[in-house]
Amino acid sequence: MLRRISVVASCVVVLALSALPASAATSSIHVFSIPGVYGVRAWGTYYQTGIRVRVSVCVEDTAPSVYGAAAVGVAFDSSYRHHDNVSAVTIGYDHTQCHAMTTQYTSHLVVEALSGYQNGKVRQRGKVTQIY
């Protein structure tokens, strides 16, 4: 299990580095964790790409009793009037999923994780956290 986690984390970093344009190669990648709920581990990264920000979120279902897990990141402009979002969803124990987006909204990033039942209802929501 720890090997799988380290492989996933390595893949995310390699993917993020390979997607960098030449002008942003010196930009630092910021890693964050998303406050989890029972049976869910969630994390992500962000980095500046010129006038845009590349955001990725990942989620892992870590408990057999949890049917599904999700993580979402929402990037806002300074007035919170416009936004883009990225989400990752996985179903089944010991599964991991990652998704990424590049957005023009660089003022705020808010993230949350949750778990769900098989009938589609939310089992537990995590704490909404502002990353920047």
Does the predicted model carry a pTM greater than 0.85?
A: no
Instruction: Over range 42-65, report the average pLDDT.
Output: 96
Q: Please name which of 101, 31, 36, 40 lies closest in space to residue 73, comparing C-alpha atoms.
A: 101
Q: Please give the tally of structural domains in the chain.
A: 1
| Residue pair 89/97 in contact by the 8 Å Cβ criterion | yes
Between 36 and 91, where is the model more confident? 91
The answer to whether residue 35 scores a pLDDT higher than 70 is yes
How far is residue 12's CA from residue 109's CA, in Å, rounded to a whole number? 19
Q: What is the CATH number of the domain that holds 6?
A: 2.60.40.1230
Q: What is the mean pLDDT of the chain?
A: 85
Range of the domain at 92: 2-130
How far is residue 8's CA from residue 82's CA, in Å, rounded to a whole number? 31
